[in-house]
Each structure stands twice: as C-alpha cells, then as structure tokens.
Structure 1
Amino acid sequence: MTDVTQNSGNVVASNHHRDLGLRSRYGSERRFQSYGVIAIGLGVLFLILLFWSIISKGYTAFQQTKINLELELSEQILDPSGNRAREQLQMAIRYNKIIEPAFYKALGINPKDKTKRQDMKEAKKLISRGASIELRDMVLENPDLVGQTINIWIVADGDTDSFVKGQIPRDVPESRRQITDQQIGWIDSLMEQGVMAKKFNWGLFTYGASSRAETAGIGAAAVGSLFMMLIVLVLALPIGVAASIYLEEFAPQNRWTDLIEVNINNLAAVPSIVFGLLGLAVFINFAGLPRSASVVGGLVLTLMTLPTIIIATRSALKAVPPSIREAALGIGASKTQAIFHHVLPLAAPGILTGTIIGLAQALGETAPLLMIGMVAFVKDYPVTPLDPATALPVQIYMWANAAERAFVERTSAAIMILLAFLAVMNISAVLLRRRFERRW
C-alpha cells in the first residue's frame, strides 16, 4: 500500500513538472512572438514618422505662388532695331522694364511719382528675379510676341511664396521676418483680387539648377539620371548575364573560378564611395573622360551594379531544374542550345528582377557621383551623355545644404519624387517576377 501511494505521488509530481515545462515553453513562445510584433510595430512606426516628416515638409513644393500680370511687350524696349536678333532679345534686364511697371500698376503705385521710390523698392522684392528670365525664354521661343500685350502668371519671390504658404508667420514682430507689414498688406490685397494665387508648380519638374528656390527644379537632374540609367542598363545587363552564364554553366571548378566568385560576392558589399574613387582614378584621370558627365557616372554605377546582377542571375540559373538541361541534351541539343533556348528563358524573371533592383540601387546612389564631380551647377538640360550633368540624389544633396527656407520644401519634394521612382521600380520587379515565374 505504501509503494502504491509513493508511486502515485511520483506520477503526480512528474505530471506537475511536465505541466510547468509546457507552460514555460508556451510562455517563451508567446514572449518571442510578442517581441517580433513589437519589433515590426517599431519599424512601421519609424517608417511612418520618416514619411510624415518628408511629406509634411515637401507637399507644399508642388504649388508655387504666382502673380497674374498684363504685360505689354514693347518693341521699343525689347527690340529697338526691329530685326528680332537673338542677341538683343536675350538681354534679361530689358524684361524687368516690362514686368515691374505692370506690377506697380497692379498695386496702384505710380512709377513716375518720386515719393513712391521706397514703395517701389519694397514692391519689387515680391517678384522673383527669375520672372524676367522666364519671360525672356518665352519671347526667345516665339519672337512674334514682341509688340503684343499678353496676360501671364509670373513667379513670386521665394519669401513671398513661403509667406503665402504659411511658413512665415505674420504674428511675429516685423524685425524677425523677411516680409514687412507693407508687403503683407499688398499680398493680402492681391490675393483678394485673385491677382496672386497658388498654382501647380510645373517648374519643379522642368527647371534646372538655380540659386533662387522658386526657379529651381529637378528637370536637368532627372535627364542626367536618365542618361546614367540607360548606360547602366546597356552595359551592366549583357555583361552581367554573360558572366553569370559562363561562371554557372561553362567555367571549370578550380581555384581561379572560386577566387572570382569570392571577389564578386565581396564587391557586392564594397561601400559605394570606393567605386567613386575608382571612377575618378580610371575614367577621369587615366582615360581623360569629361568630369561631371553622365557617361562617367553611368560607368561608375555600372561597376557598382554588376555584382548585384551577376549574383541574381546565377541564382536564377540555379533555380532552373537540372531535368530541363538533361531533357534538352537528351533530344540532341548542344550545351549552348540547351542553355540559351531552354534554361535562360526560364531564368529570365529572376534576371529581370535582379536587374531592376540593381538599377533602383544605382538610381539612389550619391557618394560615387560626388567623387567624380557631379555636383556642378547645371541649369541647362544635358543633350548628350558627354555634357555636364548632375543626378537627382546629388540635386537633393545640394538643396539640403542651401540656406534659404524655401529650399527645405524643395529638398523634401525631390526626396518624395525619388522615393516614388524607387517604389515603382521595386514594385515592378515584384510584379514581373510573379507574372513570369514558373513553379516546379
């Protein structure tokens, strides 16, 4: 009887210990899941805060304050000779003599009244210095406008734009803001009349570099980035795919191929600024290619993108079942025919995905482009890859270092545009892979 009681007690104790162990394991599992949820939540929270910080500062850049004026393009001022010579029409100072009187008229200021000189000086600050250049470019594009009276929207000054958008508060002392009380009165009057209004800022997408925020845009930088991406695509894709096919399908397994594979994997982890130093030494100092040109940037980014494409292509080739190769060889195809007619088409989705991801990575790079001098002030669009150019990430870097308040929103807006491009490229890679991949 004593033995039975003792055995029963041992069984109960064993079950108790087992229950405690199970509860401990289940508790550990629940804690681990909680840690994972917390980690994901923190990551999403930080991402939301990042996007909120960028969007809250940058969305206003997609609108620009403009002033509607009726301008008389006097032939006597713009082209006294009447021959429509481009040299005469290019003199931007002449267009100020057309814009300023029209603006004074809108404010009710008589330019001939000498007592109003200080008012005219203050009023002139509300107009961007780039307005005359805009008007000049319009006339150069269509010289027949000379002698006509046109109604156009001209760009307001950056401080005026910031005030209209609420970035410069009106309830602070006049000595602590860039806009005077008199200028605020004029702005309120023009806004009530509909002469001054916020318009969609097409210039953000079409302008080049400018020292004035209101006439600065990403147009020239976007063209430079386009040239570089085309160079990367034309060079990196065929070279990367060819190298991958050789290493995966034809290269003998020896110490040399092992060394090449190790170095390719190491190059994928090399900091991008090292590729910039390499490009500076080889393409500019040795080969003599022009500094700050899209062709140099494209070559540097090609070197940086090649390891990514090679690694992705080799992974795609490995994913094709060996039975595909064996079946092709079994019906009499050569090894080359088996690879190019059967294996490569089946690996194309993975290759395409790796290429797009490599291009997206190259599009967002800044450090190597800084090393090869692509921080030049480029106002005009580059026509060829040999022309001076900059890139979208470099333009963002340059705007971030600008002192003017209005460049803050330009910087955030350019970041939003760059992130949109990167998101489209990455989403395209995912969709294309799902669309064309085959499951074995």
Structure 2
Amino acid sequence: MRTARDLAGDLLAVHERTGQWVGERLEAERKRLRDPRDRGLLTELVHGVVRQRGSLDTVLARVSKRPLKDLNRVVLTGLRLGAYQLLYLDRVPDHAVLDTTVAWASHHTGPRRAGYVNGALRGLLSRIDKRRVEAVRDARKDLPRPDGSAVRFRARTFADPELEWGLNRAQRWSHPRWLVERWEQSLGRERTDAVLAAGLSRPPVVVRARVDRAVLLERLAAEGITAREGEGPDALVVEGSEGHLGAVIAEGLAAVQDATSQVVAPRVQPQAGESVLDLCAAPGGKALHLADLMRRGRLVAADVDETRLKRVTALSRTMGDVELVTTIVPPEGPLPFDERTFDRILVDAPCSNTGVLRRRVEARWRLRPEDITTLAGIQGRLLERAWPLLRPGGRLVYSTCSIEPEENEAIAAAFIAATPGARLADELRTFPSPDADGGYLAVFERR
C-alpha cells in the first residue's frame, strides 16, 4: 500500500521530470487514500514542496556535495521532500522522515543514490541550531515558516540583506528573485515583505454566506466546524479543509470564495430583471455571486474553455429564478453578441496571479517578466471587445487577481484615454493579507 509520502514523492518526481502541473494529478491520487488525514498530508507535502522550492534548494545547496543541477531528478525530489518535512512540519519525528524518504529514494533509484539522500538530510539536521524560534531575528540565518515562526541555522545560510536584499528575500520567502526585486521597486520593502509573507502562508478557507451569516455560523457550529467572521459582510474564515463543507454548499447555504473575490460582484450592481454578461466566467464563483444578487434576470456566462464552463453550468441548480446561459467565445476577435445587449458586464480577466500565489503554488515558478506585458495586451483587448456590448447607462467591472500596476491601473487609464463615453467610477487594489487574497477592480460607466 502506497503511503501519502510515497504518493507525494511520485507526484513531485513526475512534476520535476515533465513540468506537468501537480494539480492535474493530485486530486486523483487523493482519492486513493481513504483516511482524510492522509489526503491532507498528501496535499500539504505536494503543495508545500512546490511552494517552498526556492528556499529548499537554497538550504540543500549548503549541504549537498554536488551542485543541485547535477543531481538525478529523483534524488533532488527526495531531498526536497525530506527537507520540507524537517523544516516546515513538526509532528513527524526526524528519524521517521529520514527512514521514509530514504526508502522512497531507494525504491526509485537504488541504495547508492538513496545513501546520498540520507547523508545530505543528516547534514541538514546538523546545520539546524533551533528548530523553532518565535520570530525572525537574523535575516542571514533564519528561515521563515508559514505560522510566523522560523528555523534558525547555526551558520549564515542566506545572502546578506545589506548587499543583496532581493536575493535574501527570494531565498527565504521562496519567490523568484526578479519578482521580489520588481515588488521592491513598485511597492517598497515594507509592503514587499508583507506580500512575501502572505505568499508563504497556507491559504485560508473562506466561504461566502448565501444566507444570513449568523445563521450559517450556527449551522457550521452545529456540525462541529469552527468558523469566524472574515473581511467583508458575508465572509467566513473556516478552520480545516473545504472537504468539511460539502453539506452547506450542496444545500446552497455557502459558496467557497475568497474575501477579495467577494468584493467584485457587488460592484457590478446587478439588478433584478437585467441582462448581465460574465466574461471569462469559469469556474463560476463570481457568476454564482451575480446570480445571488440579481435574484431574477438573464445571466450569460462566457468563457473560452468549454470543459471549465461546464462547472458554471453545474451551479445553475442553485441560482433560483436567474436564467443562466453559457456560451463558448473565441479568444480573439468579436464576441458573439449584439452591441448594447447587456446592462452590466463583468470582465474577470486572465492575469499573472500575483495576488493569489499561495493558492496557485506553481504560478510563481512559471511566471516570466515578459508574461506580464503579454497579459496586459490580452486584458486591454478584452475590455475593447466587451465595451460595445454595454448599453448606455450601464456598468462594466474589470477585475484581476494580480497586484501588478501594468495589469491594473495602467489598463484602466489606457482604456479611459482611448474610449469616448467611458467614465472610471471607482477602482480598488487589494494586497494579500492573512484572511484575503490580493486583486484589483475598476468600475467603468457608459454615458
């Protein structure tokens, strides 16, 4: 019987060898585990190793006798898997981490390479001074952890922040150096540190109450689920995983939706009886929110991805008297709707995801500097394509889960400058916090 650690190693090895997104196989592997604790451990290990790859490699480079780039890919995966447990998880004894990791490596690569894994991980253990200190004190020795504590090493492990501030942060907070230095320039060091800390943290489980929030709190408490009020009038932060919420979601009492995402649909201000377009609608969280606010009317959910759009269709049974129409649209060119058809439009544009990196653990490593420019072009064209569909007096909301000005304020400013009759009524950029993700929205009104 393959354990959660074995499955995590297998998934991570495939990811390292092929570049395949771990999310594509993780859910299937979770179903092979009967115990919910094992499913949780599998997710923690896979997401944690991918998220912390930069920090893990920095530390492992200090104890590996060979450059990491020259190691067998399976050996490197084993080192990362073992190091993650030693540095970031507290409940598993060190000897158990070593035994299970070395056994996994031996199964895949043989005893000689497994011996290398064993030696390097033991070297890592000898380098640790204190497994847990309550706060970061020395930026050259202290490795931050998601709960705000830190691991302290005996010797300097990270770049000198006085000489290479961006590299030091990239190594310790596990983000690409170019992105850290970009934020340092655009946000300043204090804000960048806060964003990096959020990117390291485990994402909160946040739901939107579709009934009175106090009623939902009572229902969750009756089921033994601990929750507290979050940011926004309908947000609840839930302890544990989404798996405990199946009943309240199925009954239409709640929807999993981050607090920042919950801000968007109310800014659209959909009214009963109106015709509303949700462009880029999949997987449907904002479409469902629009329907809840409308109560009745016509909601067109459009997307380029037919498979993902089916998830929106599945939500229609809880949308009450709202008529849901799903439509596949082309990625470029005119949209298949008549001009001035819609009273309200939401353009939830594809973006760099820099406001939600803790949720999309692979995004930070896939993103390149030039991608932001490419995405800004796509975002601008989406606005240009959607605007003719809006009726005079109507409202269009543009939103992203990015914190980059090129994808946000710059898009809004360029659109206003190029579009007669458009007025920027409001805009808001939110940065990641313990209870909410980062993102942006702009509200345009058509005269």
Give the TM-score taking structure 1 as reference length.
0.20
Would you tell me which structure has more helix in proportion to its own residues?
A: 1
Higher relative contact order (CA 8 A, sep 6+): 1
Larger radius of gyration: 1
Give the TM-score taking structure 2 as reference length.
0.20
Would you tell me which structure has more strand in proportion to its own residues?
A: 2
